[in-house]
Amino acid sequence: MSTEHNRADLGKDPARVSGMFDQVAGGYDRTNTVLSLGNDKLWRVATTRAVAPRPGQRILDLAAGTGASSVSLARSGAEVVAADFSPGMIAEGRRRHGGIPNLTFEQADATALPFDDDAFDTVTISFGLRNVVEPKKALAEMRRVTKPGGRLVICEFSHPTSKAFAGLYGFYNNRVLPLAAKVVSTNADAYDYLNESIRDWPDQPTLASWMRQAGWSEVAWRNLTFGIVALHRAINPSSEPR
């Protein structure tokens, strides 16, 4: 069996990104918990609360990976579609959670979603938008498949607001995380890319401006863990043309 590892770069070639996530699918959730010092679970709870899923709703969870976030949403009784670009992630999600009746898994490209217009009450994406080669196009696609008056919730790495904390965070990302990834990950190179993508990702106001450009309204965000992560929210206005 080949031991060659896929490693994406900031060009974010879709095939390389997908292949990289295919290779880390099995241990992805465990590795994230270790490398985030357990904060990933807190971020997931905050995202689920922001989505506020209810029975009768149809929710699209993009970049769902193995479906950990989707399971949290499905517990409400909402119909949840877990979508991811990586077939390996989708296969692992089906293996783990295929028995949940109101949760389905779909392979999907965020820039060309295989869903009808106005198909979902809410669209959410956690830690996936920065891996999309054309994030602005993805934001427009998310709006297309969201019902008028429907909601968007984005949980993504961002920029700490405190200079002192930003220095500590930078030291952890640049020095500690690569060493830890070599110990706990099946593909440490993948986490080098993820670290690069976090550094390269725009700040909170810039992402908010992209959302407005895509036609979303009532755009707002709140910082989690001192701005390491930001939770952006918006509404699909019912009167504006797409």
Contact 219, 208 (CB under 8 A): yes
Contact 142, 123 (CB under 8 A): yes
Contact 228, 36 (CB under 8 A): no
104 is in an annotated binding site: no
Whose CA is closest to 225, among 67, 38, 69, 61?
A: 38
d(CA 70, CA 79): 10
109 is in an annotated binding site: yes
Contact 228, 46 (CB under 8 A): no
CB proximity list for 207: less than 8 A, separation 6 or greater: 129, 154, 156, 158, 221, 230, 232
Q: Is the dihedral of CA 199, 204, 209, 214 positive or negative?
A: positive
Q: Which helix (H) or strand (E) holds 68?
A: helix 68-74
Which two structure tokens, joined as six digits, stand for 158?
A: 């961002």
126 is in an annotated binding site: yes
29 is in an annotated binding site: no
DSSP letter, residue 118 = T
Which two structure tokens, joined as six digits, stand for 49?
A: 């609360």
d(CA 56, CA 65): 24
Q: Which helix (H) or strand (E) holds 164?
A: helix 163-171
239 is in an annotated binding site: no
Which residues participate in the annotated binding site for S-adenosyl-L-methionine?
A: 66, 84, 109-110, 126
Which residues participate in the annotated binding site?
A: 66, 84, 109-110, 126
